[in-house]
Amino acid sequence: MSHERSVRWVSLGRMDYDEALAIQTRQAERLLQGEDEAQTVFAVEHPPTITVGRSGTFDHILAGRERLRDMGVEVREVDRGGDVTYHGPGQWVLYPVLHLAPWGNDIGRYVRMLEEVVIRALAEVGITGDRVKEYPGVWVGRDKVCAIGVRARRRTSGEFVTYHGLALNVNTNLAHFNLIVPCGIADRGVTSVQRLLGREQPFSEWEARLRAAFNAVFLEDGADVDVAADEAAEAR
């Protein structure tokens, strides 16, 4: 494996949305300024949080502020693409902070690769995930199991740097999606691995599964993604 395709995997555990956002945006700034070349994936689980993307609207949040406060759900406006989505316990969120020259500097290809990561991870347990052309993410039938929303900014060289990423519903409380119009799509549903398989999932196993799938998709020679176990404490 060439050096430019090495990727470090940083497990943040459960962390507030704002703290994880600060970690990934700091790393993105390092890449944009040429202070660092490290390709990094941050894996995290958030407490209940609704985020509104750049093409979103607060009209797609169906619950009032008092109800959200009583439920302990935070609301954040963020600079990723996409509309409204939900993060919460039982959901693995991956924030790949990458410079994209090793992958053709192609944002469309990058999004398809993220979808492929999830499709391969789901296939390991017998779930067939699909793409829907007009809606980024991964679907099972008419239900979304994984949301994708990314932000890309250019280095002075023209190379893209990515942040934000994907959110896979593993054991997520799907009732919380009733608080929003997920991704602004009113005529489709949301699902989870737990619902699809009919049983609660060993959550930590799904991080390992996603990591292996990320490796298979992004590192063509199949070498292991570098795991930086001590990076989490440093990143905090």
- Could you list the active site residues? 183
Half-sphere exposure of 138 (CA within 13 A, CB side): 26
Is 83 annotated for ligand binding? yes
Is 85 annotated for ligand binding? yes
**Residue reference for tokens 């660092």:** 36
**Does residue 2 sit in helix, strand or coil?**
coil
Q: How remote is the C-alpha of 174 from its chain's centroid?
A: 17
Is 25 annotated for ligand binding? no
Is 80 annotated for ligand binding? yes
Is 163 annotated for ligand binding? no
Buried b / exposed e along 169-181 (16+ C-beta atoms within 10 A): bbbbebebbebbb
Question: Environment class of residue 110 by beta-carbon count within 10 Å: exposed (0-12), middle (13-18) or buried (19+)?
Answer: buried
Is 54 annotated for ligand binding? no
**Does residue 109 sit in helix, strand or coil?**
helix
Is 81 annotated for ligand binding? yes
Is 209 annotated for ligand binding? no
Is 22 annotated for ligand binding? no
- The span from the first CA to the last CA of the chain, in angstroms, equals 29
Can you say which residues are annotated as belonging to the binding site for substrate?
80-87, 147-149, 165-167
Q: Which residues are annotated as a binding site?
A: 80-87, 147-149, 165-167
